[in-house]
Amino acid sequence: MRRIVFLDRATIAPRIVLRRPGFAHELIEYQRTEPDEVVDRLTGAEVAILNKVKLTAEMLAQLPALKLIAVAATGTDCVDKTYCQQHGIAVSNIRGYSGMTVPEHAFALILALRRSIVPFRADVLAGEWQKSRQFCFFNHPIGDLGGARLGILGEGFLGQRVADIGRAFGMKPMFAAHKGKTGLGPLYTAWDEVLETADVITIHCPLTPETANMISLPEFRKMKRRPLLINTARGGLVDEAALEVALEEGLISGAGIDVTTPEPPPMDSPLMRIASRSNVIVTPHIAWASDGAQQTLADQLIDNIENFVAGRPTNLVEGAF
């Protein structure tokens, strides 16, 4: 009987069904796991399920029974994959589950900010409509999406879906060339041109050493059209201190942020200092988390485990096995 341990079940909503694998097993679920609890909880386990719990080489060295780390997410930076590759531990991840939920959340932020939905709602609750003594009032700017230039950082599956939605609104998508790179082909618009001409910039690329803080103060100062900045990718892609300065100086017209560094952010962090601004919306890393997307993730997670045990592994992470 194989022992399976889920270290952070609370990272998937309780209403999402996590089916039991179709082979003899013992499944133990922990809602949360602290770093000093990892080794004890995984001792004797052949399969570890985790989302954000870190598995370091030091921890893995104490877990000789471990055969598969099934990550309940796309990103696997929480696992020391070099150690796994050297010691025959497979690592699987989740793919292709968020093609609707992330782009739709990005556009929810874009629409809410472009049309000043949040501050208008606050004004209505505060009685501003009654004070206006007419059928409407104009306390905040309202912008259309049709004809606006949509700068997309990241040309993968999610970036392409965002472009499709943008075209449906009559926007003009531009895929930014990778920062500091040239000659990437006709799909791309030069990096600086995207920064200088976009009305909305939305980020859909992975966090790597090359992309860390890819948007900082020098980039904000190139944004001639004071665009909206949307980040539903990873917190470390945007320099949060620089974002605060950009808002203070009016370099951008607003920001929709779903990801931070760290998560959750400290109450005295730059993100929390700007969160109450009328032109800022901060959501708690939920762009990925529609019920449909979470169920797809949960089903694929168990598929990966069952396929591995059956000898036909799926979604193995390159460089890990």
- Tokens, residue 75: 């990103």
- Asked whether residue 6 is assigned to any structural domain, the reply reads yes
- Asked whether residue 36 is assigned to any structural domain, the reply reads yes
Say if residues 321 and 88 touch (Cβ distance below 8 Å).
Answer: yes
Q: How far apart are CA 309 and CA 172, in angstroms?
A: 47
In this structure, the answer to whether residues 135 and 15 fall within a common structural domain is no
Q: Provide the pLDDT confidence category of residue 180 given band limits of 50, 70 and 90.
A: confident
In this structure, the answer to whether residues 166 and 81 fall within a common structural domain is no
In this structure, the answer to whether residues 134 and 265 fall within a common structural domain is yes
- Asked whether residue 89 is assigned to any structural domain, the reply reads yes
Ordered alpha helix ranges (H), the chain: 38-42, 57-60, 81-87, 101-114, 117-125, 128-132, 157-168, 191-197, 217-220, 240-248, 270-274, 291-309
In this structure, the answer to whether residues 225 and 115 fall within a common structural domain is yes
Q: What is the pLDDT of residue 319?
A: 66
Enter the DSSP assignment of 19: P
**Does residue 161 carry a catalytic annotation?**
no
Does residue 255 sit in helix, strand or coil?
Answer: strand
Query: pLDDT per residue over 112-149, tens digit each?
Result: 999 999 999 999 999 999 999 999 999 999 999 999 99
Single pTM value for the model: 0.93
- Asked whether residue 318 is assigned to any structural domain, the reply reads no
In this structure, the answer to whether residues 108 and 93 fall within a common structural domain is no
Q: What is the pLDDT of residue 184?
A: 83
Q: What is the pLDDT of residue 181?
A: 83
Q: How far apart are CA 200 and CA 218, in angstroms?
A: 17
Rounded (10°) angle between helices 157-168 and 101-114: 40
Catalytic-labelled residue, pool 263, 273, 306, 312: 263
- Tokens, residue 308: 């591995």
In this structure, the answer to whether residues 34 and 20 fall within a common structural domain is yes
**pLDDT of 183 higher than 90:** no
Q: Which residue range forms the structural domain that includes residue 157?
A: 101-282
**Does residue 234 carry a catalytic annotation?**
yes
In this structure, the answer to whether residues 158 and 233 fall within a common structural domain is yes
Q: What is the pLDDT of residue 321?
A: 56
In this structure, the answer to whether residues 230 and 166 fall within a common structural domain is yes
What is the total count of domains within the chain? 2
- Asked whether residue 147 is assigned to any structural domain, the reply reads yes
Q: How far apart are CA 258 and CA 269, in angstroms?
A: 15
Enter the DSSP assignment of 25: E
In this structure, the answer to whether residues 91 and 67 fall within a common structural domain is yes
In this structure, the answer to whether residues 252 and 159 fall within a common structural domain is yes
Catalytic-labelled residue, pool 9, 234, 240, 244: 234
Q: What is the CATH number of the domain that holds 18?
A: 3.40.50.720
**pLDDT of 222 higher than 90:** yes
How many CB atoms lie under 10 A from the CB of residue 134?
Answer: 6
Q: How far apart are CA 186 and CA 205, in angstroms?
A: 19
Q: What is the pLDDT of residue 10?
A: 98
**Does residue 29 carry a catalytic annotation?**
no
Element (H, E) at 228: strand 228-231
- Asked whether residue 105 is assigned to any structural domain, the reply reads yes
In this structure, the answer to whether residues 105 and 10 fall within a common structural domain is no
In this structure, the answer to whether residues 58 and 180 fall within a common structural domain is no
Q: How far apart are CA 97 and CA 216, in angstroms?
A: 30
- Asked whether residue 25 is assigned to any structural domain, the reply reads yes
Q: Provide the pLDDT confidence category of residue 41 given band limits of 50, 70 and 90.
A: very high
- Asked whether residue 316 is assigned to any structural domain, the reply reads no
Catalytic-labelled residue, pool 9, 149, 161, 285: 285
The pLDDT of 298-303, averaged and rounded, is 98
175: which strand partners? Answer: 152, 188
The DSSP string of 144-180 is -STT-EEEEE--SHHHHHHHHHHHHTT-EEEEEPPTT
